[in-house]
Amino acid sequence: MALSKKPVNGMKDILPREMEIRDYVTNVIKTTYREFGFTPIETPCMENIANLSNKQGGENEKLIFKVLKRGEKLHLDTAKEENDVVDFGMRYDLTVPLCRFYSNNANDLPSPFKALQIGNVWRADRPQRGRYRQFTQCDIDILGEPSNMAEIELILATTTTLGRLGFSGFEIRINERRILKAMASYSGFEEKDYDSIFITLDKMDKIGIEGVSTELLENGYAKESVDKYLGLFDALADKKNVAEGVGFLQETLGGYLDEEISGNLREIAQTVEAAKAADFALVFDPTLVRGMSYYTGTIFEIAIPEFGGSCGGGGRYDEMIGKFTGQNVPACGFSIGFERIILLLMEQGFEIPERPKKVAYLVEKKYPAEKLTEVLKQAKEARENGQQVQVVRMNKNKKFQKEQLQKEGYEEFVEFFNRD
């Protein structure tokens, strides 16, 4: 029986042109993050299924590719539910594995520890255009740093990387989970309702302030609270400058907002603005929620104008490592939207800078072995001089062969005939 030529449903083969850009981007990312003292690490692509099902992953936990038990451990006949037949699962992000890694290896690592991870993750989403069920994530995290030096270094490293990839005029939107809560509390909402309110707030960019108001009222919240709440956002609409926005909130919310929280955010903004290397704006976005329930403090997101929507983000999650060790460790991370950056560069027809020259040597079929040595020596010399040289047999349809090689970036062709 003929085998299936297609990749599994929802995943894709990566062809040479895309692969070249992925390799280039990976290289820029690794070089830049290393300069900032981030250290590459790797964890297995599979985790124990219990680690992936601990409610930290939110909706992603419903999308786990699960791995069947093997050998004697598998009892299909008596199995009642999925968890009877699986032991591992494919990771759906790099944050859960990082926390496990740190818990397992903290004694061998410096503190604070600055980690860089680039790796595949898997989510059994419904397949759709441009979204795949296997994709690459690229995260930097600082573990063991309670102060805002973590946020500052993460933002500087990420924006420097984006700048080196040719992006400019983008935004880093910043907010604080504790500011979100203070605004809700000040408006008279109860703590038990915060998550539901933030889910609605998160839709602000799609449905506008009117839409948010309607949905909150439909969900049964008091008109007085909803009006007071949305009044804050109204007043903040022209206060994108962090110092200004946060200053306004500190004044308005008074005792609802701890001064340490607003001061912290102002310090981050001030320092990043003064020390940044790329062309971007840091803006205060009080509607920024970030879905993951594990965030405990600062949250941020990258917005690139050419690409509607978020192109990466992150925040502080001081309570996750405690799930593994029983003892919390301050933690803050920034994930760059690797796949979206690749997509953007592909669409823009990105050309890799300073690429070595690609030359193809086409050798006639009947070229004798003893003369081939000379061709190979010539190729060796050209390679030592920095060229990429492919030595191949000349096809009957030489024109087509050259066209295909040109698609792969070959600019020069040298032909070898026996009669020469």
Nearer to a second copy, 51 or 60 (CB): 51
User: Which residues 43-82 are close enough to bind a second copy by CB under 8 A?
Assistant: 43-48, 50-51, 54, 65-68, 70, 74, 76, 79-82
Calpha distance 322→326 (Å, rounded)? 4
User: Which residues 221-260 are close enough to bind a second copy by CB under 8 A?
Assistant: none
Question: How close are the terminal C-alpha atoms of the chain, in Å?
Answer: 48
Binding window for a second copy (CB under 8 A); candidates: 193-201, 226-234, 281-289, 373-381:
373-381
User: Which residues 307-366 are close enough to bind a second copy by CB under 8 A?
Assistant: 323-326, 356, 358, 360, 363, 365
User: Which residues 180-219 are close enough to bind a second copy by CB under 8 A?
Assistant: none
Nearer to a second copy, 198 or 338 (CB): 338
User: Which residues 89-128 are close enough to bind a second copy by CB under 8 A?
Assistant: 90, 100-101, 103-105, 108-112, 114, 120, 122, 124
Nearer to a second copy, 119 or 314 (CB): 119
Using CB under 8 A as the binding rule, whether residue 41 contacts a second copy is answered as yes
List CB contacts of 367: < 8 A, sequence separation 6 or more.
375, 416, 417, 418
Sheet holding 280-284, edge to edge: 39-40, 113-122, 134-143, 331-336, 307-316, 298-304, 170-176, 280-284
Least Å from the CB of residue 12 to a second copy: 7
Nearer to a second copy, 134 or 196 (CB): 134
Nearest residue to 200 via CA among 189, 191, 190, 209: 209
**Beta bridge partners of residue 86, listed in sequence order:** 68
- β-pairing, 113-122 with 134-143? antiparallel
Calpha distance 318→265 (Å, rounded)? 16
Among 168, 219, 348, 395, binds a second copy (CB under 8 A): 395
- Residue pair 361/416 in contact by the 8 Å Cβ criterion: yes
Least Å from the CB of residue 194 to a second copy: 25
Among 28, 86, 232, 414, binds a second copy (CB under 8 A): 86
Using CB under 8 A as the binding rule, whether residue 40 contacts a second copy is answered as yes
119 by DSSP, 3-state: which? strand
Neighbours of 210 (CB within 10 A): 9
Judged by CB under 8 A, how many residues of this single chain contact a second copy? 110
Among 220, 369, 399, 419, binds a second copy (CB under 8 A): 369
Using CB under 8 A as the binding rule, whether residue 153 contacts a second copy is answered as yes
Q: What's the Cα-to-Cα distance from 322 to each of 82, 98, 268, rounded to whole Å?
A: 28, 13, 26
- Residue pair 133/121 in contact by the 8 Å Cβ criterion: no
Nearer to a second copy, 259 or 370 (CB): 370
Tokens linked to 301: 């997101």
Among 185, 293, 328, 388, binds a second copy (CB under 8 A): 388
